[in-house]
Amino acid sequence: MDFQALKIAVAKQFERMQRHALLRASVDKDALWTTYLDAFPPGTNEVFRERREYDCSCCRRFVRAVGDVVAIIDGKLETIWDVSAPGYEPVTDALAAFVRAAPIDDIFLHDERTAGVEKNFEEMSERVHTWHHFFVNIHSKHVKPKKEIPAALAEPRDRRNVLVRGLRELTDDAVETVLELIAQNSLYRGQEHEFAVTAFAKLKAQFAGLSAREQELFGWTSDVPASVAKIRNSAIGTLLIDLSEGRDLNSAVARFEALVAPANYKRPTALISKAMIEQAQAKLTELGLGSALQRRYATLEDITINNILFADRAARQVINGDVFDDLIAATASTPKGLDKIEEVSIERFLADILPRAQSLELLLENRHASKLVSLIAPIDPTAGRLFKWDNNFSWSYAGEFADSIRERVKKAGGNITGDLCCRLSWSNFDDLDLHMHEPGGGHIYFGSKHSNATNGRLDVDMNAGRGTTREPVENIFYGDRRKMREGTYTLSVNQYAARESTDIGFEVEIDCLGTLHCFAYAKPMRQGETVEVAKLDYRHESGFHLRESLPKSSASRELWGLPSESFHRVTTVMMSPNHWDEQGVGNRHYFFMLDGCKNDGSARGFFNEFLKSELDAHRKVFEVVGSKMKVPEADSQLSGLGFSSTQKNTLVCRVKGSFTRTIKVVF
């Protein structure tokens, strides 16, 4: 047999394989060498001197060094023994089968540019004999210093092993759920993980279609980014693992947020999965409530005499002219002027004053911005009852106002629902800072954003360091007044860095349990100057009291199509629908619907707290559905001001009956 033919064939095969990524099969090197020697047919590897003819130390070193090298070419595993050499077929076939059967455990690296010895010479009695051995040249990309090889092998090995473990252990349902949460914006900075999770999902689908052997080879030669290959070991991987192991969705996301979210982060939407949506849809179908979710603005034509407490002449003609005309005729007389302002409770106003009123006007103030409300009706008048009360009407308070400080704070990620919210707004690149000096010496500002004593927090700080926006805001809020210290809170604004001389001044809103106090400062501020905005006294029993402040802003602004700081005609007065027809389900709200008032925001058709108990199990789905199903715009609508019976507030009304009187209604 011609060993030269075998030697050359092996070298050619190795050179061909080097054009691809080289890997090592996990074989016992001594067993590989024994397989080589034992594979020769009888009579082809006779004993030469003391050892068999092919039992050569040079070839043994070669087989141990590169005999286990493989490559994946066109999706198939090839070894250096996949060659054709006459007479040596039993040997190469045995070696190829032995190597191919072993798993892959590393990439191939060698500490020399060659493997084996090309030839050597031995002087015999008659002549000098040339011995040929296995020999190959190794490309530099596969060569590293011996001391660097362990570390160089570890990274690709770990990357591949983590990838395959993730592909096998992370479930399709878990991956799909995480992608749904990202799409819903229900994960803090979820968009940052979307690429990795999406790419992993594609790899997982590919992996599932492979044979067991192909799965063992998967990942060694794929050009998979580290963020995808090692997704199991990442923060989003923690969430995928928890969901794959059956952990509850909320607790799994809570664990993820504990790893990546700041302490004051609030998830913008509820957590729902595809299965939860399907279950909620099935429940709606079972209850016959599918069409009840489609909502619109209510109009005067939708309501009846039983739904309202007062209607002016124009509204009466739409609702039921005869009945109301008869009532008014019995009390009508020549109006008399009466400018004195008297203060009455809402209960007395409804019982003693409103029944005798011919017309009603109210003073729409800037502080009422958060009290704007719309009555909402079903598009399908035959729809089943969706709510806890026995009618299909709901209501929606203003949540977003065009060009309002509240909206800008909300967009910046600030808390707008605390018991006390203090919002600062300005219109240039200056760096203004909001400061709150608390009773007991506490001080909330950019250098100390959280107060342990009161649980107050500065959660939005803009234009710090450099000017980044001409619509900056800052926000200090107290989520729970019961945790606040009693005493005086002093709010001020400091000019930390004056960068521009245009669009000077600032505006501040102080929102106390929904009552809005607005302030404006129109003067330029020197760098380092501080302007005190307000002193606010707080007592657990009596609540908040504005003691000293800048002059309140009395500039008129447009609120849902009506100028503020002026009187407007009230078309109807009514209770909230949960208290119609002598029902008493939940808190009572008093609605004063205004002529020409038109919701310019995006009204929500329903809220979870309205839904009937049969839907409680699916409340997370309906939280998301409710936020997405906005009421379409309409010119005709019942909108105005609403006041909850649980919150303190006042309203100035001008009432015309047998005489004209101006009344401050206290809620």
> Using one digit for the tens of pLDDT, what is the confidence trace for 130-169?
678 899 999 999 999 999 999 999 988 998 999 999 999 9
Residue 291 inside a domain? The answer is: no
- If phi > 0 it is left, if psi is from -120 to 50 it is alpha, else beta; for residue 514 that is left
What is the reported pLDDT for 125? 56
Question: Do 543 and 569 lie in a common domain?
Answer: no
Model confidence over 550-579: pLDDT tens digits? 876 666 678 899 998 899 999 999 999 999
Residue 286 inside a domain? The answer is: no
Model confidence over 250-302: pLDDT tens digits? 888 888 888 877 655 555 556 666 777 778 778 888 888 878 888 999 999 99
- Count CB-CB contacts under 10 A for residue 333: 10
Q: 201 versus 52: which is more confidently predicted?
A: 201
Question: Do 437 and 509 lie in a common domain?
Answer: yes
Helix ranges (H only) for 81-148 are 89-100
What is the reported pLDDT for 410? 80
Question: Do 462 and 338 lie in a common domain?
Answer: no
What is the reported pLDDT for 430? 92
DSSP string, 175-231: HHHHHHHHHTT-STTTHHHHHHHHHHHHHHHHHHTS-HHHHHHTTSS----HHHHTG
What is the reported pLDDT for 124? 57
Question: Do 517 and 622 lie in a common domain?
Answer: no
274-287 helix and 619-628 helix, angle to the nearest 10 degrees: 90
Whole-angstrom distance, CA of residue 556 vs CA of residue 565 = 6
Whole-angstrom distance, CA of residue 528 vs CA of residue 444 = 17
Whole-angstrom distance, CA of residue 344 vs CA of residue 667 = 9
Question: Do 362 and 487 lie in a common domain?
Answer: no
Residue 261 inside a domain? The answer is: yes
Q: Are 484 and 468 in contact (CB under 8 A)?
A: no
Report the percentage of the chain scoring pLDDT > 90: 46
DSSP strand pairing (506-512 vs 51-52):
unpaired
What is the reported pLDDT for 140? 92
When pLDDT is cut at 50, 70 and 90, the band that residue 389 belongs to is very high
| Total domains in the fold of the chain | 4
| Of 523, 553, 583, the domain-final residue | 553
pTM for this entry: 0.50
What is the reported pLDDT for 547? 85
What is the reported pLDDT for 121? 62
Whole-angstrom distance, CA of residue 98 vs CA of residue 104 = 13
Residue 278 inside a domain? The answer is: no
Q: Which amino acid is at 129?
A: H
Long-range contacts of 178-186 (CB under 8 A, 24+ apart): 178/236, 178/239, 178/240, 178/243, 180/272, 180/273, 180/274, 181/253, 181/271, 181/273, 184/269, 184/272, 184/624, 185/268, 185/269, 186/253, 186/267, 186/268, 186/269, 186/270, 186/271, 186/272
Q: 439 versus 223: which is more confidently predicted?
A: 439
What average pLDDT does this structure show over 198-220?
89
Residue 157 inside a domain? The answer is: yes
Residue 340 inside a domain? The answer is: yes
Question: Do 137 and 154 lie in a common domain?
Answer: no
| Of 521, 537, 553, the domain-final residue | 553
Q: Is the pLDDT of residue 116 over 50?
A: yes
Pick the closest to residue 327 from 308, 346, 345, 341 (CA basis): 308
Measured CA angle at 162 (ends 158, 163), to 5 deg: 115
When pLDDT is cut at 50, 70 and 90, the band that residue 612 belongs to is confident
Residues in CB range of 245: below 8 A, 6 or more apart? none
What is the reported pLDDT for 329? 36
Token pair 């619907």 in the structure block, residue: 593
What is the reported pLDDT for 665? 94
Q: Are 178 and 239 in contact (CB under 8 A)?
A: yes
What average pLDDT does this structure show over 509-513?
88
Question: Do 659 and 594 lie in a common domain?
Answer: yes
Whole-angstrom distance, CA of residue 663 vs CA of residue 667 = 13
- Count CB-CB contacts under 10 A for residue 230: 18
Residue 279 inside a domain? The answer is: no
What is the reported pLDDT for 147? 93
H/E stretch holding 153: helix 149-169
Among the residue ranges 312-321, 422-431, 585-594, the one predicted with the least confidence is: 312-321
Whole-angstrom distance, CA of residue 12 vs CA of residue 6 = 10
What is the reported pLDDT for 335? 39
Whole-angstrom distance, CA of residue 127 vs CA of residue 156 = 51
Residue 350 is classified by DSSP as: I
What average pLDDT does this structure show over 183-209?
87
What is the average pLDDT value for the chain, to the nearest integer? 85
Q: Is the pLDDT of residue 304 over 50?
A: yes
Specify the CATH number for the domain of residue 479: 2.60.60.30
Residue 289 inside a domain? The answer is: no
Question: Do 545 and 410 lie in a common domain?
Answer: yes
Structural domain including 605 reads: 297-398+561-666
Q: Are 104 and 24 in contact (CB under 8 A)?
A: yes
Model confidence over 324-378: pLDDT tens digits? 343 333 333 333 443 468 899 999 999 999 998 999 999 998 778 778 999 999 9
Question: Do 262 and 168 lie in a common domain?
Answer: yes
Question: Do 245 and 261 lie in a common domain?
Answer: yes
What average pLDDT does this structure show over 56-79?
91
Instruction: Cite the beta strand spans of 49-103 per DSSP E.
Output: 51-52, 69-73, 76-79
What is the reported pLDDT for 13? 95
b or e along 599-619 (b: 16 or more beta carbons within 10 Å of the residue's beta carbon)?
bbbebbbbbbebbeeebeebe
Query: Residue 488 forms beta bridges with which residues?
Result: 537
Question: Do 234 and 94 lie in a common domain?
Answer: no
Among the residue ranges 118-132, 340-354, 426-440, 518-532, the one predicted with the least confidence is: 118-132
H/E stretch holding 620: helix 619-628
What average pLDDT does this structure show over 226-240?
92
What is the reported pLDDT for 56? 81
| Of 143, 162, 185, the domain-final residue | 143
Q: Are 217 and 167 in contact (CB under 8 A)?
A: no
Question: Do 521 and 411 lie in a common domain?
Answer: yes
